[in-house]
Amino acid sequence: MNIGIKKGNITRQKTDAIILSFFEGRKIPDSDVAIVDKALRGIISRFINNGQIKGKLGEVSVIHSLGGLSADRVVIVGMGKKKELTTDRIRGTIAEVCRQLRKQRVKNIAIVNKGFRTSHISSEDSVQAMTEGALLGLYSFQKHITEKKDKSIEVKKITIVTDSKADIHLLENSINRGNVLAEAVILARDMVNEPANYMTPTDMVEVAARMATEHNLELTVLDEEEMRKLGMGALLGVAQGSCQEPKFIILDYKGRNGDEIDIALVGKGITFDSGGISIKPSNKMEEMKTDMAGGAAIIAATVAIARLKLKINVTAIVPAVENLPGGAALKPGDVLTAMTGKTIEIISTDAEGRLILADALGYANKLKAKRIVDVATLTGACQVALGSICTGAFGNNQLLLDALITAGNRAGEHMWQMPMYDEYKEQNKSDIADIKNAARGGAGAITAAQFLAEFASSTPWVHLDIAGTSIGAKERKYYTKGATGVPVRTIVNLVSAISGKR
C-alpha cells in the first residue's frame, strides 16, 4: 500500500472515499467539513441537526456523494471531544475506518490532515499516527491459507491532503517514520504468527540474517559449542530437550563513532514452549508458538533503529531455543550454572524464559552495555495482574523506567511500573543453589523479574513482561487478531530519545 502527501482542494480529489474528522459538541460543520457540506448541498448539516452525526469517538457516517464531489464517498469520523484528542486516537480511528472501507471494496482513500491536528497535536505527529494506523489496521497474516482472499479488494493507496505546500517536506518525513515503525511492527507480527515449525531457532537466525543484509547490521550467531565455552549452562539446559539447535543471535547497529554500547536490547526467543517436563495443559498450547514475541520485537525494533539512522550504538541479543520434554530434557530438581557462575535450582521447567534470559543478560553485561532493556512473554502472572491492555515494567533504575513509560505513552502502548521490593527476593532463595527458578507464594511476575535482576546486576535495566500484550483475541484499534507487535514502537521511541532525537 502506498501512502503519500499532497496539497490540494479536498472537493477535487478523485478517489473512492474522503475521510473527514468531526468533534463532539460541534453544532455546525467547520473547516473542510463545511466546504464538503456546501458541495453536497448541506447534507452533512442536516445529519448534524437531526443527531445522525454527533462526533462521538468511534462514530462513522458514510455519505455517497452522488456526483457532488470528485470522490465517491465522504466518511465523517467522530473523534470525541477536541481537547481529549491524542495521537493514539488518531492512530486507532484511522485503522478502524480503513478496515471498514476495505469491506466496502474501497481501494483509494484521501484523508484531510487539517481536521486531525489541534493546538496540542502537530501536523507531523498526526500524519505519522495516520500512517501507522492505516498500515497496522489493515495488516493480515494469510501465508498458510491456500484459498487467499481476493487481492483486488485491498486498499492500494492513501493520500493525505494538506492545505500548505510548505508542510510537504516535513510531512513526508512523518510518513517515512510512520512507515518504518509500522513495517517493523509487521515484521514482528509476521514472525510471531508463524507456526513453530516455520519459526525455529534456525529460522529466527535466517530472518535476522536477511535483515542484517538489507539494513547494514552486523550479525553474529553463537552455536551450541560456542555457548558451552562461554558457560551458558542456563540457556543450554532449556535447549537440551529439543532436537532443534539453540541459537544465540547478536545484531549490532553502529550509529555513532566509538565502540561503547549505549543500550543492549534483549528478547526472549522460545520458539515453542511446551513447558518441558513440567508440561502445560493442552488447552491453548498452540499459542505457545508466540513465546518468541520478545525476540521478534527486538529484531524488528533494531531494524527500525537502523532504518531511521539514529546516532546511537545498539546491540540486540536474542537467545533462541525450543522447550520440549525429550529424553534428555531438563528436570525439576536439577541444578544449572549460568554464564555468570551463579547456580540455579530448577523448580519448574516451565519457568524457562528466565533461564535463557539469565545468560543473555550476563552476556550483555560482559559487553559492558550502558543500559539493558529486556522484553519477554515471561509470566502468566503478569497477564493475570494487567490483562491484555498493559505491559508490566520492572527495573532497577527509575530514570530508565520513566523514559520507557514515556516512550510507551507516545506509542500508545501502555506500560505499568510494578514493585520490586527487596522482600520479594526471599521467595527465590534455594536451599541447594544460589537461586531457584520459580518461587511460590504469589507475585509470580515480580519474583520472575527479581530473578532476572540478579543477572542484570548493577547495570541500569528494565524488564518488560509482554505475556498479556503480545497477542490479541480480536480486532481492537490498530491491532488485529493474533500477534500485536508490542512493544516495537515503544523500544524505538526509547532509543530515539536516548540518542537525542525525539
Say whether both 314 and 461 belong to one domain: yes
Angle at 362 between CA 360 and CA 366, to 5 degrees: 115
Residues with Cβ within 8 Å of residue 169, at least 6 apart in sequence: none
Last residue of a domain, one of 163, 190, 206: 163
The reported pLDDT for the residue numbered 150 is 67
- End-of-domain residue from the set 136, 163, 190: 163
Q: Are 306 and 215 in contact (CB under 8 A)?
A: yes
Instruction: Answer yes or no: do 49 and 101 share one domain.
Output: yes
Task: Please state, in angstroms and rounded to a whole number, the distance separating the CA atoms of residues 114 and 90.
Answer: 12
Establish whether the linkage from the previous residue to 487 is cis, with ω within 30° of 0.
yes
Start-to-end CA span in the chain (Å): 26
Q: In what order do the strands lie in the sheet with 60-64?
A: 2-7, 157-162, 108-112, 17-22, 73-78, 60-64
Q: What is the pLDDT along the chain (502 residues), one digit of tens a residue?
A: 999 999 988 888 999 999 999 999 999 998 899 999 999 999 999 999 999 999 999 999 999 999 999 999 999 999 999 999 999 999 999 999 999 999 999 999 999 998 898 889 999 999 999 999 999 999 999 999 988 666 667 999 999 999 888 789 999 999 999 999 999 999 999 999 999 999 999 999 999 999 999 999 999 999 999 999 999 999 999 999 999 999 999 999 999 999 999 999 999 999 999 999 999 999 999 999 999 999 999 999 999 999 999 999 999 999 999 999 999 999 999 999 999 999 999 999 999 999 999 999 999 999 999 999 999 999 999 999 999 999 999 999 999 999 999 999 999 999 999 999 999 999 999 999 999 999 999 999 999 999 999 999 999 999 999 999 999 999 999 999 999 999 999 999 999 999 997 6
Euclidean distance between CA atoms 171 and 128, whole angstroms: 8
Q: Can you tell me the distance from the alpha carbon of 180 to that of 388, in angstroms, rounded to the nearest whole number?
A: 25
Contact between 77 and 95 (Cβ < 8 Å): no
Q: Which domain holds residue 109?
A: 2-163
Q: What is the DSSP string of 163-223?
A: S-GGGHHHHHHHHHHHHHHHHHHHHHHHHHHS-TTTS-HHHHHHHHHHHHHHHT-EEEEE-
pLDDT of residue 502: 64
**Considering the domain boundaries, does residue 169 fall inside one?**
no
| Same domain, residue pair 140 and 214 | no
> Do 224 and 134 have their domain in common?
no
User: Do 402 and 262 reside in the same domain of the chain?
Assistant: yes
Q: To 10 degrees, what angle do helices 123-137 and 168-193 make?
A: 30
- Looking at the structure, tell me whether residues 229 and 335 fall in a common domain: yes
**Count of structural domains within the chain:** 2
- CATH code for the domain of 430: 3.40.630.10
Contact assessment for residue 489 and residue 254, using Cβ atoms and an 8 Å cutoff: no
Together in a domain, 358 and 298 = yes
- At 207 the pLDDT is 98
Cα–Cα distance measured from residue 314 to residue 151, given in angstroms and rounded to the nearest whole number: 38
Residue 176 lies in a domain: no
Same domain? For 359 and 416 the reply is yes
Specify the CATH number for the domain of residue 92: 3.40.220.10
The Cβ of residue 476 has, within 10 Å, a number of other Cβ atoms equal to 15
Picking from 132, 163, 194, the residue at the C-terminal end of a domain is 163
Do both 212 and 112 map to the same domain? no
Taking the model in full, what pTM does it have?
0.97
Secondary structure (H, E, C), 311-326: CCEEEEEEEEEEECCC
Among residues 362, 376, 368, the alpha carbon closest in space to that of 449 is found at 376
453 and 486 inside one domain: yes
Q: Is residue 177 part of a domain?
A: no
Q: HSE-up of 351 (CA within 13 Å, CB side)?
A: 22
| Residues belonging to the active site | 280, 354
Contact 230, 281 (CB under 8 A): no
User: Do residues 236 and 358 share a domain?
Assistant: yes
Same domain for 153 and 200, yes or no, is: no
Q: How far is CA 443 from CA 195, 241, 422, in A?
A: 31, 28, 13
Q: Is residue 423 a part of any domain in this protein?
A: yes
Using alpha carbons, select from 116, 130, 138 the residue that is nearest to residue 174.
130
Q: What letters, b where the CB count within 10 A reaches 16 and e where it falls short, cover 243-256?
A: ebebbbbbbbbbbe
Burial (CB count <10 Å: 0-12, 13-18, 19+), residue 321: buried
